[in-house]
Structure 1
Amino acid sequence: MQGLSNLEELAIRNCRGIQEVIKLEGLLTIKGEQQDLLLPRLKKMFLIDLLELRCIWKCPTKLINLNNLEDLKVIRCKKLMHLFTSALSQSLQKLKFLEIQGCDELEHLIVENTEEQLFHQPNVMTILCPDHEQVLSESHPQPLCFPKPDVVKVKVKSCNKLKCLFHLDRWNPVSIFLTLQDLEINNCGGLHEVFNFEGFLTIEGEQQEEFFPRLRKMVQSPIQHINFNNLENLKVIGCKKLTYLFTPALAQSLQKLKFLKIERCDQLTHLIVGNVEEQSQIVNVRYCNKLKYLFPITIADSLLELKILTVKENSQLMEVFTHERDAGVQKEVTLPQLKLMGLKGLPSLVNFCPKNYQFILPKWMELRVKSCKNMRTTFTRTPYRSVLINGEVAQIDVPTGISTFYLVLTICPANNDITWTGFNF
């Protein structure tokens, strides 16, 4: 007991027979005597390749104190079904790093059970309570309050039975994870949603704090009602049933997004609904075979920081920029920082932009358009080392009426692939 009170780091690896980490079943205390709490100094806990582990804590959870736990890794614990009980999770005051990988049977992060149920029915889960400040038990009508941890990074990988990571179904007066900077979720085939705000309520007239204002990295997520003012890096890969990324409300908060990568999202039909101020520097979209268009034309003027645009192997993409209610007004759009653009393997692509729009690339360095056999948009290299998309350049000097000697080259990708670099102009 004394050793557990002084323990600061616990690492267990490749102990395949372990079924519980902390087991104090049958522990007796003298009535009225104060019982010392266990693990009050524990800062790091790593549980790796414990193939038979079914339960981390098999003891009265009131004896466990995780107030100083900062870093928790649970990797390839194949039979583990949950991490914490609701009572134990209340002591997670300083948790900063949470990594979960290869836990095939993990269904919930937090469960609500009585201690008697934990001892006699370890496989009974009464509710789903992933990490929140408030959760609602099916058997308890009142929400259970959790402390607010200072989580910086959450990583979840190869947990195929996990259906929802963060679930909120009652009014929450104080947001959680205000310090979260990095959220990574990989290869969780059963995951239906990362954030569930179904039934989310706020008291009328009261200011609701925003969720995840410091989040910088995320791998997969259909999200609503969250503030991503500092989100810089977003990758969405292999999310087969995802149909959209951003709602209008969420899109408004993407003010610092710099890197966007989307691959193998088979049901994705659009990225953004409504207007958004974009600071994206790199956009990379591949193998999303239901995507019809990339951006609404209304955000084109806001892409002032875009430097790299790569769109490849999206079989149903018809336009890069689209305007559903095209008024026919002629307009020029300049992408002042765009240096590299690649369009490849887009058999349905007809237009880069609406016909009444002309795009100007003044700082281009490399342009490649390949296997876009139905594309009608023209690309023109001008005498002033810029590229016009859907535009024309007069080869007659208007004041003098004399032909210019500068090279003007216009190509339609339906007839010829394009490989231009600033060095072979």
Structure 2
Amino acid sequence: MILDDYLGMMEVQHTKPIVSDNFFGSFTKLKFDITCNRSFVIPSHVLPYLKNLKELNVHSSNEVEVIFDTDEIEVETKGIIFGLKKLILKDLSNLKFVWKENIEEIVSFSNLQEVDVDGCGSLLTLFPLSLAKNLGKLETLDIQNCEKMVEIVGREDEMEHGMTIMFEFPCLSCLYLENMPLLSCFYPGKHHLECPLLDHLYVECCPKLKLFRSSFDDDSKKEVLEGPSKLLQQPLFSIEKVSPKLEGLTLNEENIKLMSDARLPQDLLCNLKYLVLFFEDDNNGKDSLPFDFFHKLPNLEWLTVQKCFGLKEIFPSQKLQVHDKVLAGLKQLYLLELKELECIGLEHRWVQPYTEKLELLKLYKCPLVERIVYCAVSFINLKYLYVMHCERMEYLFTFATLKSLVKLETLIIGYCGSIKEIARNEDEDDCDKIIFGRLRWIKLKYLPRLIRFYSGNATLQCPCLQKMMITECSNMITFSEGVIKLAMFSGIQTSEDSDFTFHIDLNTTVQSLFHEKIQTSKDSESTFDGDLNTTIQKLFHNQRNWDMKRMGKKIG
């Protein structure tokens, strides 16, 4: 008898378990998926026997409405402290409660360290108040895509109205909240949120949630904000108290304006290493980044610019009147979902110190960007390059820039419908070879117009290149016009689970795959030979020949 069947039977019987305590006591990890067709995942008569459970993962079920039913726990089992450390709830469209009833003095989940909730669109609140006041070991709280969630901690007793509730999370280091349009507060009443170890705070697409308050902000003089629901609301944190400890942070335009107040300490964000700029208001587009704010971030290494409406260029052509140390330590640049971005601006002379330090560059859904740079640029420290869903991009860069990628390790290009080649042969010099001494992995996916990687004649040396994936690049006829030298190459995959293919050299392998693709397309064309039986026999014969050919290659 499997556990899911057993719990289903017990839900009907509503009796004590018919197996020993040891049966459930041995479980440390439980996972329920789409096959879970019960409204209660853990019934009240089973819950007391799961004291040793460390991880619970429930996902992909439209039937689940409650995770823990504490409604009918027997008196003698009350006060149990559960060992649960990790709770993962994903894609549960009808989930209404994680804990069914007021659990104060019934059970304790004080050992929780990680809570991850994603895609629970019917969930209004996550924690009961009594449980939230006893989460001293919680380290990570990640809540995403819960469209109906109004508050994270729900009110339990009307007597609490007017009281200031203390929430202490001495171990919480990461708080991530995303895409919750109705979320307006942590708790719907006067409260104090204490997170002394918080160093990563990411809040995106939660337009009703106030992130910071300042002692200089007029709104902070009002202890709480009165919402349309007549519930007391207040910002999550005091900006002066939490900011100096932060290493990772998401900021919108409102928060940047608040943090730019000259009355605040200049070293307010001195430890910040990871910044996400996320301007949610598409009616208030920004045509440039807040470079005057970046001087407050002397240790910034990782910058993400996402959904900043109106932004057409990251680095303007004219040098800004900013301190030379602004963005001096930047190593990773992510440009995500910038629908109006036309140019990155990495080729401008004043930006060169930044490009030479970059180790990672990622472009995702930047439909108007035509190339990464418009002239020769040195990326001597770039290790990872990702370009996805950039429909207008015809090529990434030219020969001179390609030659500078001496430390490149990973190159992933996908879903760029206009790309014909990765590097264009426009400025090839007398150099007869390009050495990619660290390149290990190339992935080219859904590039329907791609013809080749590089059209020049220079020899490409890739001593560490181990594998390559080429998927849905139907017009790719060769890799390069010149010689390619490989030392550790295993072959080319055409999908995640396909075998490696290699014939003589890389160019020959690409050409072979291209011809196979052409032949497969011809074989799969609509055919009819007089009657249905003859047509089926011909198709079967073609498929058998194809299978024999593939088998011969594997054996050879």
TM range (shorter): 0.5 to 0.7
Partner of 1:285: 387
Give the aligned length.
343
Partner of 1:151: 246
1:227 aligns with 2:327: yes
Partner of 1:213: 299
Compared CA separation, residues 99 and 375, structure 1 to 2 (3 A): same
Structure 1 position 71, deviation (Å): 5.4
What pairs with 1:367-378 in structure 2 (closer than 5 Å)? Answer: 367-369=468-470, 371-373=473-475, 378=480
Partner of 2:413: 311
Letter in 1 for 2:514: D
What pairs with 1:259-270 in structure 2 (closer than 5 Å)? Answer: 259-270=360-371
What pairs with 1:55-66 in structure 2 (closer than 5 Å)? Answer: none
SS in 2 for 1:298: helix
Compared CA separation, residues 170 and 197, structure 1 to 2 (3 A): farther
1:166 aligns with 2:266: no
Compared CA separation, residues 179 and 367, structure 1 to 2 (3 A): same
Partner of 1:113: 218
Compared CA separation, residues 164 and 184, structure 1 to 2 (3 A): same
What pairs with 1:339-358 in structure 2 (closer than 5 Å)? Answer: 339-350=440-451, 352-353=453-454, 355=456, 357-358=458-459
Aligned match for 2:271, one of 179, 188, 208? 179
Structure 1 residue ranges without an equivalent (≥5) = 1-10, 19-42, 84-90, 124-130, 134-144, 157-161, 202-207, 388-406
- Asked if the contact 1:251/1:272 (under 8 Å) is kept, the reply is no
Q: Which structure exhibits the higher relative contact order, with contacts defined as CA atoms closer than 8 Å and separated by 6 or more residues?
A: 1
Partner of 1:197: 290
Structure 1 position 320, deviation (Å): 1.7
SS in 1 for 2:400: helix
SS in 1 for 2:218: coil
SS in 1 for 2:403: helix
SS in 1 for 2:401: helix
Structure 1 position 329, deviation (Å): 3.4
Compared CA separation, residues 194 and 383, structure 1 to 2 (3 A): closer
Partner of 1:302: 404
- Asked if the contact 2:476/2:514 (under 8 Å) is kept, the reply is no
SS in 1 for 2:245: coil
SS in 1 for 2:203: strand
Structure 2 residue ranges without an equivalent (≥5) = 1-112, 118-122, 128-137, 153-160, 187-193, 229-236, 309-313, 316-321, 490-503, 517-553
Partner of 2:514: 417
Aligned match for 2:467, one of 334, 354, 366? 366
Letter in 1 for 2:201: L
Compared CA separation, residues 298 and 228, structure 1 to 2 (3 A): farther
Structure 1 position 314, deviation (Å): 0.9
Letter in 1 for 2:329: N
Letter in 2 for 1:317: I
CA distance in 2, matches of 1:120, 1:186: 24
Aligned match for 2:434, one of 327, 330, 333? 333
Higher helix share: 2
Letter in 2 for 1:267: L
Partner of 1:30: none
SS in 2 for 1:314: coil
**What percent identity do the matched residue pairs reach?**
13
CA distance in 2, matches of 1:163, 1:290: 29
SS in 2 for 1:360: strand
Normalising by structure 2, we get a TM-score of 0.43
SS in 1 for 2:396: strand
SS in 1 for 2:354: coil
Structure 1 position 410, deviation (Å): 4.7
Partner of 2:199: 96
Partner of 1:396: none
**Partner deviation per Cα, 1:97-126 (whole Å, 9 max, x = no partner):** 324366342477558435677778768xxx
CA distance in 2, matches of 1:409, 1:101: 44
Higher strand share: 1
Structure 1 position 306, deviation (Å): 1.2
Structure 1 position 53, deviation (Å): 5.1
- Asked if the contact 1:349/1:374 (under 8 Å) is kept, the reply is yes
CA distance in 2, matches of 1:47, 1:287: 27
SS in 2 for 1:309: strand
- Asked if the contact 1:364/1:386 (under 8 Å) is kept, the reply is yes
**Partner deviation per Cα, 1:16-73 (whole Å, 9 max, x = no partner):** 599xxxxxxxxxxxxxxxxxxxxxxxx999898894459xxx99xxxx9x9x998584
CA distance in 2, matches of 1:100, 1:382: 47
CA distance in 2, matches of 1:408, 1:99: 47
Structure 1 position 328, deviation (Å): 5.8
SS in 2 for 1:315: coil
Compared CA separation, residues 250 and 105, structure 1 to 2 (3 A): farther
- Asked if the contact 1:213/1:229 (under 8 Å) is kept, the reply is yes
Which range moved further: 71-80 or 43-52? 43-52
SS in 2 for 1:154: strand
Letter in 2 for 1:305: K
